[in-house]
Amino acid sequence: MFELIDPMHMKEGEMYFVKRFDSILGELIFVKYHTFENLTVTFATFSYPYMCGYSNLCLFTISIYRYVSEEEYWAKVKEKYDAKCLNIVLKRLIDDSFVW
């Protein structure tokens, strides 16, 4: 499973799925953030997991997806389910206009 994230929240050494507006770049490992001289745009350096090579990509032209484990996914689902159940019980105890 994938989760779309803010590009500024990447962690060094982790693998991300990177997609550009016109093509899919695939699985890349994040190395670091940097800016080039005379530019105000932030770039990210990625390495290819199966090749020796690096790529500098402008963060405004790509979408970053983080891998979500099955355990993490089901923990989030359970958390939302528990909150919904609590809200239903509180509405029955207090009144229908109660919002948690």
Q: Let me know: does 47 contact 53? Beta carbons within 8 Å.
A: yes
Q: Are residues 11 and 60 in the same domain?
A: yes
Q: Are residues 27 and 56 in the same domain?
A: yes
Q: Average model confidence (pLDDT) for the chain?
A: 88
Number of domains making up the chain: 2
pLDDT at 98 over 70: no
Q: Which domain holds residue 80?
A: 69-100
Q: Are residues 8 and 24 in the same domain?
A: yes
Q: What does the pLDDT look like over 17-61, one tens digit per residue?
A: 999 888 888 899 999 998 877 777 888 999 988 888 888 888 888
Q: Are residues 99 and 87 in the same domain?
A: yes
Q: Are residues 48 and 6 in the same domain?
A: yes
Q: Are residues 19 and 8 in the same domain?
A: yes
pLDDT at 99 over 80: no
Q: Are residues 19 and 61 in the same domain?
A: yes
CA gap 43, 26 in Å, rounded: 17
User: Structure pTM?
Assistant: 0.69
Q: What does the pLDDT look like over 51-93, one tens digit per residue?
A: 888 888 888 889 999 999 999 999 999 999 999 998 888 888 8
CA gap 17, 66 in Å, rounded: 6
